[in-house]
A and B are shown apart, each in its own frame.
Chain A
Amino acid sequence: MSSESSTVLSPPGRFAGGVHPPEHKELARHAAIEVLPPPAELALPLLMHTGAPCQPVVQPRAEVVYGALLADSDAFVSAPIHAPAAGVVQREGVATLPNARHVKTIPLKVGPHQMAAEELMADMFGGEWPEDGIADVAPEEIVKAVRAAGIVGQGGAAFPTHVKLARNPKKPVDTILVNGCECEPYLTADYRVMVEAPAPVISGARLAARAAGAATIIIAVEDNKPEAIEALRAAAAGDVKIMSVPTRYPMGGEKQTVRVATGRTIPTGGLPLDVGVVVINVETAAAIARAVWRKKPLTHRVVTVTGGGIAQPKNILAPIGCRYADLVAFCGGLKPEAGRAIAGGPMMGFALGDFNAPVTKGTSGLTVLTAEDVRRAAETPCVRCGRCVEACPLDLMPTRLALAARHKDWNLAKRHHLMACMECGCCAYVCPAAIPLVQLIRMGKVQMMKEVGK
């Protein structure tokens, strides 16, 4: 252990509840990141982030180069979109995202001359990442570069990162928390990034801290990823604290990670910012480093294609806008026992109706489960065993919430704090009566908002 290396810290906090689903990370954890050859056409959704949709800034039939700006917005909470490959812009299209949202897209016919795979990998993750000189970069410059690169949270929520990093005198930030928990079963994309490219992750974390004015940098990784912890530790100096947190779903949920890594509790309905923390995903951190040091926009991301229904599970560096079908084909197709395809992981991911949806900036993976994996017992009456109450990481009473949602009893729902639910799904995972608890709660939240909330 060299003297300048970081040591691995134990977390100061904990959260109650949670579950331990079988991890199945072994399927893809050893698969080094491979570059997806650019498919013939990409479709870039104009809204793949939280906030205002973008407007195209290019006309159909325009020829664009790799990294060219395709769409932007004047709104503060938005993120521009860039070309992941050189090609010709097509007429505006429409795509259905896995969350069932219909969005306009800019289709891009990919040209014949593309960057070689090795070159792209080197550009994304390779080479030197400056350790010094961060103090010379003005915080506003970092925020501006992050905004210009179209960086959003790559952990799933896709919230524009520059909004989180911009300093707000009313809400000072003292901690940048890089989330490398990857608590969803099966997924290994973040793990591969941490193992293969710890340097840009650490550099990006430092830049984020500089931008937000945070003195403390913590990278939290679940203890089922010792190789990632070691890689980060070896690459980090003392200013970046590597923290090994217990492996328990939903450790990677923002509320849980912040509580465990800092001991602070985010108020219900609030943000990490309310307790002086900014949380960014490991790949987002790498994207920040790339945007600042190499002036490159967010055009590619690592996605895990895995599950018992996929012929060859892989971690793929994929251009934003490629279709799920391209990923499946690159992984040797589906196995006959495939039973459900999920955008994301099996706990919080969305089932896909077909493979035509495009990969977005927030896509972490494609999990294809077998029919056996997704077989569920028939629902039986609730016997009030309280398993869901024990499993809920937020101390809610899921069975009461589901009852309230089923009967549209919004007083009961309010009394049991329906709107505090973060929909992690632990309750439905453990329910001995196979009641779709979180599914009912999710529906109840939407209906209650419609009927009583304004």
Chain B
Amino acid sequence: MAENAVTPIAPAAPPPAAASARAAPAKPAPALSVAPGPHIASGALTTRRMMLDVILAALPLLAVSVYLFRQYAVFQIAISVIGALAAERFFGWMRRRPNTLGDLSAAVTGLILGLSLPASAPWYVGVIGAFAGIGFGKAVFGGLGQNIFNPAMVGRAFVMIAFPAALGASAYVAPTLGVDAVTQATPLTAFKMMGSVAALKPLFLGMTNGSIGETSALAALIGGAYLCWRGTAAWRIPAGGILALAILAGASDLTGGSPWTFAHHLSSGAFLFGAFFIATDPVSSPLTPKGQWIFGAGFGALVLLIRAFSGYPEGVMFSVLLMNSVAPLINRWTIPTPVGGPAPERK
């Protein structure tokens, strides 16, 4: 703003009264600060802005979830977010830390957790999940930036074990709620149990049952594209995940494997939601470009393995947590060689 106020002087501009200017070096001298360079910063992206981006990117998911699950979506997300904010403040207080709610990272954890819950979960599931996620997932490691595992997934894993009935496959079928979407089993469960193959179009659009934020592949793609365009999510992670899942599932299709084709795999369950919104959590994913490819590919491959060979219909949560645990190793394997080669040893 200030620099625009200065008009560039024309080449022909007469020199200012140099003598008088020199006689008075500075009247009330402006206070000049000293610091090591660089003296300017981009400011285009802050941690808070990255978190805000995630919230903005989740809007299409929220819209679909509210359309499908009505007040239950609002309720799950609200209690998860409020629980996460309360947990952040509580553990911050325990650790004698200043208020960090403003960085919005706890809000994002709560949002992701809420989106990953079934509509029918009782209120305490979201709250306990949020406290477990923020507490065991983040605070015990030293807070934001220090955690190994994605806090939202730690919270979800905790409540999944603590309340199997509230989060198991049967919990997704709750005709008593009076919402159309939850009258049938989720597409992945239906396939696993009964071998019934869902139609691709409703799978892609998300007109199916599932965790409240996961159903629409389209909404996840829209939000994910925004995240990658903003640079908030490392695009290599979802790209690696999608490629790995598509190639592995496609190979099995070619060998005449399963009626659940690679297109079903890509658009069903929480895969795209996880690839764009969960696996891309920067704290718990690798830093290096090569590492991000490996991480993404590992995530996609694990999702397929768990879906195909385990007792669980879906494997996004486990895949994220497993890959989180090896992210530090991946970082270490993929340290890039500097341009011009490694620094020579000094003698």
Contacts and interface: CB of A to CB of B under 8 A. Distances in A.
B287 A454 contact: no
A34 B18 CA distance: 12
Nearest to B291: A386
B146 A381 contact: yes
B257 interface: no
Interface string B218-245: 0000000000000110100000000000
A373 B39 contact: yes
A309 to B, nearest CB: 7
A344 B346 CA distance: 30
A357 interface: no
B336 A395 contact: yes
Nearest to B336: A395
B338 A434 contact: no
B143 A381 contact: yes
B256 interface: no
A76 to B, nearest CB: 22
Nearest to B12: A32
A438 B38 contact: yes
A192 B312 CA distance: 69
B162 interface: no
Contacts of A265: 339-340
Given A30-B11, A329-B22, A346 B340 contact: no
A338 interface: yes
Interface stretch (B44-52, B69-77, B88-96, B197-205): B44-52
B145 interface: yes
B35 A340 contact: yes
A372 interface: yes
Interface stretch (A18-26, A87-95, A222-230): A18-26
A112 interface: no
Nearest to B327: A384
Interface string A23-46: 010111111101001000000000
Contact of B145 (A381, A420, A453): A381
Most buried by B among A309, A383, A429: A383
B40 interface: yes
Interface in B2-50: 2-3, 5-6, 8-11, 13, 15-16, 18, 21-22, 24-26, 28-47, 49-50
Q: Which of B46, B340, B347 has the most CB of A within 10 A?
A: B340
A376 B287 CA distance: 24
B49 A372 contact: no
Contacts of A340: 32-35, 39
Interface in B48-79: 49-50
Given A31-B8, A34-B15, A330-B21, A389 B40 contact: no
Contact of B231 (A335, A347, A387): A387
B1 A430 contact: no
Contacts of A84: none
Given A346-B40, A384-B287, A420-B343, A27 B3 contact: yes
Given A314-B9, A373-B40, A381-B146, A268 B288 contact: no
Contacts, number: 252
B37 A334 contact: no
Interface string A326-348: 10111011111111111000111
A436 interface: yes
A382 B34 contact: no
Contacts of A415: 332, 335
Contacts of A34: 15
A429 B343 contact: no
Nearest to B105: A383
A334 B8 contact: no
Contact of A386 (B25, B146, B234): B234
Interface in B168-209: none
Contacts of B146: 381
A94 B266 CA distance: 71
| Secondary structure class of chain A's binding surface, majority of residues | loop
Nearest to B282: A385
Contacts of B341: 267-268
Interface string B139-176: 00001111000000000000000000000000000000
A432 B46 contact: yes
A351 B34 contact: yes
Interface stretch (A61-69, A233-241, A279-287, A396-404): A396-404
A351 B3 contact: no
Contact of A384 (B1, B145, B332, B342): B145
B2 A337 contact: yes
B289 interface: yes
A383 B41 contact: no
B311 interface: no
Given A31-B11, A333-B21, A381 B338 contact: no
For A372, A386, A389, the residue with the greatest tally of chain B CB atoms inside 10 Å of its CB is A386
A383 B275 CA distance: 18
Nearest to B5: A308
Contact of B11 (A32, A309, A396, A397): A32
B87 to A, nearest CB: 18
A377 B40 CA distance: 11
Q: Which 6 A-B pairs have the closest CB atoms?
A: A381-B145, A32-B11, A425-B38, A308-B3, A419-B343, A268-B340
22 contacts: A31-B8, A185-B40, A309-B2, A313-B8, A314-B9, A340-B39, A346-B40, A347-B38, A351-B36, A371-B31, A373-B3, A381-B145, A383-B145, A384-B283, A384-B285, A386-B234, A386-B287, A395-B339, A429-B40, A434-B46, A439-B36, A454-B347
Given A333-B25, A433-B145, 5 more contacts: A259-B339, A330-B22, A342-B39, A395-B338, A417-B342
